[in-house]
Chain A
């Protein structure tokens, strides 16, 4: 393709891409495969192979396209079939052996197997198929507003034409030819966009600081080091819509006056890196990246830097140190990177989603964006909804929606008739909120006030089988292992806090330990150098605040009600609930369960090792977690 040298050529190419897409939709059969990392993990590759062989078998002329993640992880693998002039019809949880039947029925017989169909997505012509629910009507989608995820799972991330057909690079061309640096920054400030990495600082202000900073050259960095366990928002954007990130970064470069940018992506995301490389190459070929972009006289180059496995590199000064080839250790701010960042030069660091959203703000305007969400937290929030929840996946919701709506309406509630216990937001440095807090609106300030944080978007739901003390210990294990070790409160304080929690989960806790937790947490928050150390106590403090009775049961009664902490509970079969089905007998590795068929069974406590096999297998919930000392008392001498 020839290099685009002016805005008209870009518009022409966008029109051409749109026309080709419409032509494809009207005249061709397309099969669209969800090929994000999660789709592949669920077996999308096998499904793809099966599709190709079935198409060959039936001699069907259809194009097979791979797209990124649409966010329905619980339904992977997904395939969409789009016949000429008709909407996309989505099949979920597709197994290779289902492919033959789907293709035969849908493409050969022209009928829809509604049992396997999830919903339909309209194409350009807006037509609908009667009797199949539209995505907008489905509970998982009807409360979502997709801005950052607009194209994820919809377009082919490896095709720049697909991105152009969706209006891609329109924000960039508007910025380059209709706005000056101040205009861009003012627009962004008016939009109220706050950094999606978690800190929630006004993005427009951040850009302005960097723009006004003295020093040359300046740098733009995209923080794609998504290290929170339980978070994959950024990965989905990188894998599903890489050009949106590129466009946002070029706009940022223009606004700030930077000629070079880096994308710092964690090495655990090979597919994201691959797709970014393709996108950069395509953008360079078209002259949308590189020298003299679209003939505007502005030049910008992008490089990818792979992380090497350090959570703390999500902190901007540590990330910069890592790009410089050093140990990824944070340093005190000020000076802020906007003044002295990469190689000591003014540098602007933003999260993937912040950049991806920016290009759309430039197209649709600040007012459009700040009309969504709340007054102080405008726009949308992207969450990776995981844990003990029916509809795990990626959701984008307007700020201000309540946690309850996300967990129950979008997420479909807790599976296996279990009871909701807590929702953890903000990743390992965030906090856990209890049922009483479910009506908290989701925005930067309300979540912080409630005792959690927005973070970059991990949202993990846990049920009664999760011990909150052990859960806190788990986060501490992670955070203290990821401490860089530079400052004392985090290096030694994190270790000491972990030791207290380990003591409690091992049944060696004392009631003074709860005060000790408060004391160490306060010291770490007060004294640590960076957010990692300051926020490490977050999950512990919030769970101690909302689930104090669990901590007290551990230290005072040696009891873990969730049945997690070894040696602090025992299993007992409820004689009323048990129907004597015998399902629990075989999995018991110690042959500790006895009983006649159809008569309540009994666990021999002397043999039981609390492995939980019976608990896991019982469909009736008849295996109960009980206090140990009650049994100790009746144990024969």
Chain B
């Protein structure tokens, strides 16, 4: 994907809010990701400079935590839980069904960045396994068919 020009000025209020707070780099990254959908390199450089952490360390932190994406993500995010309860209740079949339908590989996006499929470990609703999250909306007791149907209903 080509480099997108992003407005690093949008980071200013976030950096201001956390200025002088010890160990605030993780919440800053979280807020920055909320802003851009991922963590573009330009934003990382700005955060490193303003919060006085070396760029190497900032990347070390961002790559450690699963929550942070250094690549852009699709317009629609489908997360399938493969926590233990969901796993024994058939989560792998959900993954295969969505992968086949959208022609992508779990953990990635389709070439047009319309969809991103993620595997997550436990959303804490194991009683309703298997669980899937479509654009933040939780669905319990899903089947391959019901999930694919929901995904196809997305614009």
Chain A positions within 8 Å of B, measured between CB atoms, are 37-38, 40-42, 73-74, 76, 226-232, 235, 267-269, 305-311, 322-329, 343, 384, 386-388, 392-394, 424, 427-428, 458, 460, 462, 466, 471, 474-475, 478, 484
Contact = CB atoms under 8 A, between A and B. Distances in A.
A231 B25 contact: no
B88 interface: yes
A229 B125 contact: no
Contact of A386 (B60, B65, B127): B127
A269 B68 CA distance: 16
Contacts of A310: 64-66
Nearest to A38: B125
Contact of B127 (A76, A323, A327, A428): A76
B67 to A, nearest CB: 4
Given A308-B29, A309-B67, A428 B84 contact: yes
Contact of A392 (B27, B65, B127): B127
Contacts of B121: 227, 229, 311, 478
A474 to B, nearest CB: 6
Contacts of A37: 123-125, 138
Contacts of B82: 229
Contacts of B139: 41
A268 B64 contact: no
Interface in B93-149: 120-129, 131, 138-141
A47 B89 CA distance: 25
8 nearest A-B pairs in the assembled complex, by CB-CB distance: A73-B127, A229-B83, A325-B23, A309-B66, A230-B84, A308-B65, A386-B85, A309-B67
Interface of B: 22-27, 29-30, 60-61, 64-68, 81-89, 120-129, 131, 138-141
A230 B131 CA distance: 11
Contacts of A466: 88
Contacts of B25: 325
B15 to A, nearest CB: 14
Nearest to A311: B121
Contacts of A73: 125-128
A462 B23 CA distance: 42
A230 B126 contact: yes
B120 to A, nearest CB: 7
13 contacts: A37-B125, A37-B138, A41-B138, A41-B140, A73-B125, A73-B128, A228-B122, A229-B126, A306-B30, A308-B26, A326-B61, A387-B89, A460-B88
B122 A74 contact: no
B124 A474 contact: no
Contacts of A74: 127
Given A38-B128, A306-B30, A392-B126, A229 B87 contact: yes
A248 B15 CA distance: 33
A458 B81 CA distance: 16
A232 B26 contact: no
Nearest to B53: A325
Given A309-B66, A460-B85, A462-B88, A41 B122 contact: no
Contacts of B26: 305-306, 308, 322, 325
The winner among A268, A308, A328 for most chain B CB atoms within 10 A is A308
B30 A474 contact: no
Given A38-B125, A386-B126, A387-B89, 19 more contacts: A38-B127, A76-B127, A227-B121, A227-B122, A229-B81, A230-B83, A230-B84, A235-B124, A268-B123, A308-B29, A309-B65, A325-B26, A329-B64, A386-B129, A387-B84, A387-B129, A392-B126, A427-B84, A484-B64
B144 to A, nearest CB: 11
A91 B147 CA distance: 27
A343 B30 contact: no
A24 B128 CA distance: 33
Given A269-B124, A324-B22, A478-B121, A38 B87 contact: no
Contacts of B68: 308-309
B84 A424 contact: yes
A394 to B, nearest CB: 8
B128 A42 contact: yes
Given A42-B128, A310-B65, A229 B122 contact: yes
